[in-house]
Amino acid sequence: MFDPYKIREDFPILKRKINNHPLIYFDNAATSQKPKQVIEAVKEFYEKHNANVHRAVHTLSMEATELYEEAHEEIAKFIGAESMEEIVFVRGTTEAINLVAYSWGLHNLKRGDEVLTSLMEHHSNIVPWEILSKIKGFKVKYADVNPDGTLSQESLEENLTSKVKLVCITHVSNVTGVVNDVKTIAKLAHENGALVFVDGAQSVPHMPVDVHELNCDFLAFSGHKMLGPTGIGILYGRRELLEKMEPFHGGGEMIREVSFNPEKQRCTISWNDLPWKFEAGTPNICGAVGLMAAVKYLRALGMENVKAHECALTDHAMKRLEECPKITVYGPKDVRSKCGIIPFNVEGFNSHDVALLLDSYGIMIRSGFHCAQPLHQKFKIPSSARASFYIYNTREEIDRFIEALKEIEQAL
């Protein structure tokens, strides 16, 4: 049985009070809280196993290496990858996108080519491609979104020409919670000869995700949004693609051999095996251990259960928000087409003012444009408040949230 009240007992921070109110944490799209199982896994690593990986034969190094490689294997199973060789640890989704841009894009995109993304993307899935386009001369194109924030399938298909070499699409919008039909998008892209990169930062923590079912070529997500530590994330890539790609960072660990030629006064370098070719330097070992603990925690809950719980919370919140006449909610109203994210504004209030007022009730939400200015421009608003839910949130918390919003409405 999925029991959010029992789950809450695993999260020490939820025992806090903010401004003399019990903490209600509705900023999960930005980062999630951490259960004691993750905190203890990181603590135990530093207390018992701390050493560098792949660099020594002593006991601590062997233990650390075993844990680090096990983390790759657990992540591979979690998303349905064929092997740990397809799992590259990075700092987060942003670094994963940059890795693909510079390890794949720099060597495969040229003038006349196109990269297709959308107006609902996080800036992390826009900025790297725009920067690289200025270097390589290719064009970045944007599929439009409908008035309710859903992706315009017509615009996507119109822009998906033979010139497009890569489609970069978010699985779930970090603003509206819209879930894109990545499987269909991937089918269309592959039929046109394009590869598919999926930003899974808002999907992998909240629903079952299988890379083979999605038929994507790359998938990126961040540990800190799925109960794990900050500073650790994942790039999944199809093995045949990763094997052909050049490294992103140079340094230790990512090489097989560096040989100096005294006549040419140059070094000849060969790359290490996957995934180490892309993991230069000392990695975030404890972050990987913590993320492995987070993945095991989520797997025990069942990702279908996680999705169902969030859907029920979102449905309850959307219905109760109808009681607030001065509130405008953005995005689709049908909770079956979205994850547990609700962007809104309160008439007469700046989104930051709403966030500060809610903080006085102990309720934590996000305010601003959520690193997605093009979508806010599409909605013709400068910013929005955003409530986002996760496994430890409850209907009672939503009810307190609604009552606080009603009081804020009455303040003008």
Sequence ranges of the domains in the chain: 4-26+302-409, 39-299
Which has the closest alpha carbon to 102: 235, 193, 212, 253? 235
Structure confidence at residue 302 (pLDDT): 98
The tokens for 286 are 């404890």
pLDDT at 359: 98
Residue 250 has pLDDT above 80, yes or no: yes
Q: What is the mean pLDDT of residues 180-188?
A: 98
Beta strand segments in 275-361, E = 327-329, 341-346
Beta bridge partners of residue 24, listed in sequence order: 363
Q: How many Å is the Cα radius of gyration of the chain?
A: 22
Quote the CA–CA distance of 34 and 56 in Å, as a whole number: 31
* Average confidence (pLDDT) over 350-376: 97
Statement: residue 377 has pLDDT above 90 = yes
C-alpha closest to that of 146 among 378, 327, 370, 341: 378
Q: Is residue 117 within 8 Å of 105, Cβ to Cβ?
A: no
Q: Is the pLDDT of residue 398 over 90?
A: yes
| Residue 46: exposure state from Cβ atoms within 10 A (0-12, 13-18, ≥19) | exposed
How far apart, in Å, are the Cα atoms of 375 and each of 108, 148, 149, 282, 333? 29, 11, 8, 38, 17
Cis peptide before 325, with omega less than 30 degrees from 0?
A: no
Among the residue ranges 136-145, 225-234, 249-258, the one predicted with the least confidence is 249-258
pLDDT at 52: 96
pLDDT recorded at residue 337: 86
Mean pLDDT over 259-284 rounds to: 93
Residue at 151: amino acid letter: L
Helix (H) or strand (E) run with residue 373 in it = helix 373-379
- Give the mean pLDDT of 89-97: 98
Distance separating alpha carbons of residues 247 and 296, to the nearest angstrom = 30
Q: Taking residues 137-152, report their average pLDDT.
A: 97
For 230-250, what is the mean pLDDT? Answer: 97
Residues 124, 95: Cα–Cα separation, whole Å: 9
Q: What is the pLDDT of residue 311?
A: 96
Q: What are phi and psi of 77, to 5 degrees?
A: -65, -35
**195-199/21-22 β-pairing:** unpaired
* pLDDT at 412 (0 to 100): 75
In this predicted structure, what is the pLDDT of residue 117?
A: 98
pLDDT digits (tens, 9 = 90+) for 315-340: 999 999 999 999 999 999 888 889 99
pLDDT at res. 81: 98
Over 80: is that where the pLDDT of 1 sits? no
**Which residue type does 383 have?**
S
Q: What angle do CA 100, 153, 308 make, to 5 degrees?
A: 80
CATH superfamily, domain 4-26+302-409, is Aspartate Aminotransferase, domain 1 (3.90.1150.10)
Fold of 39-299: Aspartate Aminotransferase; domain 2 (3.40.640)
pLDDT bin (cut points 50, 70, 90) of residue 208 is: very high
Give the model's pLDDT for residue 411. 87
Can the peptide bond before residue 262 be classed as cis, meaning omega within 30 degrees of 0?
no
- Active-site positions? 371
Answer yes or no: is pLDDT of 231 > 90: yes
The pLDDT value given to residue 20: 97
Predicted confidence at residue 217, as pLDDT, reads 98
Report which DSSP code applies to 191. Answer: H
According to the model, what pLDDT value does residue 336 have?
Answer: 85
Average pLDDT, the chain: 97
